[in-house]
Amino acid sequence: MHTITIGFIGTGRIAKALIAGLVRDNNNEISGYDKDPAVADAVCKEFGITRKNSMSELVQSANCIVLAVKPYQIETVLEELRRELRPDQLLISVAAGITSEFIRTRSLEEMHVIRVMPNTPAFVGEGMTVVSRGKCATDADLAQAEKIFSAIGKVAVLDEIHMDAATAVSGSGPAYMFHIIDALAEGGKQCGLSDDEAVTLSAQTMLGAAKLVLESQKKPAALIKDVTTPGGTTEAGLHQMEAHNVRQAMIDTVTAAAQRSVELKQ
């Protein structure tokens, strides 16, 4: 199989989750550079990847470069990077809100850019990654990106116009799911479970429910019916969810995150 050399600029939290998943694929040769040497050191040692001492060193040795710095740091990184880049390299950005055109116009005119929105469950091979193609990226580039990210979970290819929505649902989504797991567990504790028991019951229930949605042909509303006995326990619980308008709270959560993604472009 063809080896892909992937270089990470920024080895912070999302890079770490991606690297943890990507090292399991032997076709990848991974390196990392972070301006904070302690951060780079820790990740490179933990996952046995090559630590580069400069951005220049990293760019020279990689055919796929992943920008994994904060959105506001992208412009500075590109200023330093553009002199080193080659048009045969693939530039992948995971930065929320930053468009592929912003990246192309600040790198090389003909740069092949792919914008990606991953999420932290990549760490355990259950990532959801949304991929979109920049102006000069080819079918082969898109296929390459799909191949890389399919090693760490599911991949969806969407037009870039949908990136704000994708960021709000699956990029930020794990945080909302952790919040719900924590709240479900807290309810369990208030009803007498220990902390560990409550978190296990809650998290495994989230996992199983998600799997059922993905693997059964049923819609969530039909699956709710399968759990709910008229006059039973689920119905009593669902009345509370409706009284507190949990559904609307989740919708507002996603629209606020998507709006923030729009603002990050400015």
Ligand X SMILES: O=C(O)[C@@H]1CCC=N1
C-alpha dist (Å) from residue 38 to 6, 45, 233: 21, 11, 51
**CA angle at residue 191 from 186 to 192, to 5 degrees?**
95
Pick from 36, 46, 195, 263 the residue near ligand NAI by CB under 6 A. 36
Residue 132 or 167 with smaller CB distance to ligand X? 167
Q: Does residue 59 bind ligand NAI (CB under 6 A)?
A: no
Interaction with ligand X in 93-112: which residues (CB under 6 A)? 96
Q: Does residue 68 bind ligand NAI (CB under 6 A)?
A: yes
Q: Does residue 172 bind ligand X (CB under 6 A)?
A: yes
Q: How far is the CB of 161 from ligand X (least distance, A)?
A: 17
Pick from 7, 34, 59, 65 the residue near ligand NAI by CB under 6 A. 34
Q: Does residue 129 bind ligand X (CB under 6 A)?
A: no
CA pair distance 68, 90, nearest whole angstrom = 14
CA pair distance 136, 157, nearest whole angstrom = 16
Q: With contact defined as beta carbons under 8 Å apart, do 157 and 139 qualify?
A: no
Q: How far is the CB of 50 from ligand NAI (least distance, A)?
A: 15
Pick from 7, 21, 32, 118 the residue near ligand NAI by CB under 6 A. 118
Q: Tell me which stretch binds ligand X (CB under 6 A): 129-137, 138-146, 167-175, 206-214.
A: 167-175
Closest residue to ligand NAI, judged by C-beta, is 12
- Letters for 156-185 (x = contact with ligand NAI by CB under 6 A, - = none) are ---------------x--------------
Q: How far is the CB of 29 from ligand X (least distance, A)?
A: 27
Q: How far is the CB of 250 from ligand NAI (least distance, A)?
A: 18
Q: Does residue 78 bind ligand X (CB under 6 A)?
A: no
Residue 130 or 185 with smaller CB distance to ligand NAI? 130
Long-range contacts of 135-139 (CB under 8 A, 24+ apart): 135/100, 135/101, 135/104, 136/104, 136/110, 136/111, 136/112, 137/90, 137/100, 137/112, 137/113, 138/112
CA pair distance 211, 259, nearest whole angstrom = 29
Binding residues for NADP(+): 68-71
CA pair distance 183, 198, nearest whole angstrom = 10
Pick from 171, 185, 188, 202 the residue near ligand X by CB under 6 A. 171
Q: How far is the CB of 99 from ligand NAI (least distance, A)?
A: 13
Residues that bind ligand NAI (CB under 6 A): 9-15, 33-36, 39, 68-71, 73, 76-77, 94-96, 117-120, 171
Residues that bind ligand X (CB under 6 A): 96, 167, 171-172
